[in-house]
Structure 1
Amino acid sequence: MPRLLVINPNTSQRVSHSIDALVREEAGKRAEVTTITANFGFRYISSRAAVAIAAHAVLDAAARAIADGADPDAIILGCFGDPGLDALVEMTGIPVIGFAEAGLLAAASEHGNFIVATKGVVWCEMLTELIQKLGLSHRVAGVYSVEQAGDDADGIAEYLSARARETGASRIVLGGAGLIPTLPRVIALSSVPVLDPHRAGVRKAMTLAAEGRHFPSDGSRGETTGLSAALTEAFSGPTEVPLQVGNAH
């Protein structure tokens, strides 16, 4: 049975519980799920500084889990922004799936353009950069923050449906770990189809975990100073990993 390691890059246990429940519901009995929370950083990631710290925190969390005996077939980054994704692949040689990347690629695999939404203007800026990196700018009709729509599902659904109609978008990608409890009602109320990137990420993780892919280290080993014992060990360990059979994401 595939083993999934789910890492919440912020320090909120409440958010970790929401992520864990969603992953377990989507995976069902087809995977073993272990969810862990960052030991340091921000309770809610809403700035570039917080993202930078979160990237360190996810590396540390993964190293600690593996040092404690975890042997995941895939890692899920429980944040709609994927802090530290590439670095985590480099450090572990394990497939790493981010909610944002998985959701964007899933939306792009369907016909028509789409809009992307989350909570926070800075997140919108960073998601726009990720969209450009993935080469999807021509498919995304807009990136919006739902802050002005309030916290209730009705308001969010109405606001995003209006933005989708204005731009001619075929669907909406609405992400953010803090929005997970609200998403089912937003999906039910929206007049435009809403794609849940968190569930898309779990499905992608299940696929990659079942394939048993591993990837070579890319020079992340070396002498370190001031890191946790687990991270120090991770960066000083052997570089041999199974033969590369594909691309991590």
Structure 2
Amino acid sequence: MSRLIVNRRKFLVGSVALGSSLAMSGCSQFDFLGQRGNPVRQALEQANVLTYRAQRALIGDQVLAREYAESEIRQGQRPNGSTDPTTAEYLFLKQANFEPYRLTIKGMVDREISFSLAELRNMPARTQITRHDCVEGWSCIAKWTGTPLGPVLDQAGVKPAARYCVYHCYDNIQRGLSGDILYYTSSDLVDAYHPQTILSYGLNDAVLPVSNGAPVRLRIERALGYKQPKYLHTIELVDDLSPFGGGKGGYWEDNGYDWYGGI
């Protein structure tokens, strides 16, 4: 099983690095990566679906990611990607020490609800020491503390037809002609309800820093780093990912990354 996980991670890292280098070099023979109807791209997308199904069958829904001893934390959690969003709403919240912050659960639920940071901190918490694996090839062991996501979703009453959670963030990862492009990603309900999936507000026995995603960062511990969205503000329950962004389920997924991102 460990060989399968390591080999999949090497494949993802190599594939992304290759895709990035080809895009930067302007190789026209790889234009199919941007053409949704291209049969080669469709074959690659189908391979991702098969990988997702195979991992679900081999690993199981509730199998835990490895947890580590505190002595194995050798450094602070490495920040990467956006480390300080500049949207007006986020700047206001940061200046107010995140006291006005609300996490909203909406979409295909019985009732739309929201929680303050204080309310999340007062819910039953889970602490776990896990390894963050980045698609860039580096890893980091850290201690995360937060509220398990599953019971929070239950308070909203997830409708039976819902299939995915879409995670919306304050992270203005890119600026386009029409303004800020905000980071988002998604997961199925299996990952959302996994016991190690938490709404993290603490890191290494301290308050989660801004550079690591304050006030709330989602941790899906059986997935690669780009599936751990920082600066989370809304979770939307849906049955279809196509209306969001480029329709592939996340910012990086819209740019060619694997949707599942499992390890």
TM category, shorter: under 0.3
More strand by share: 2
More helix by share: 1
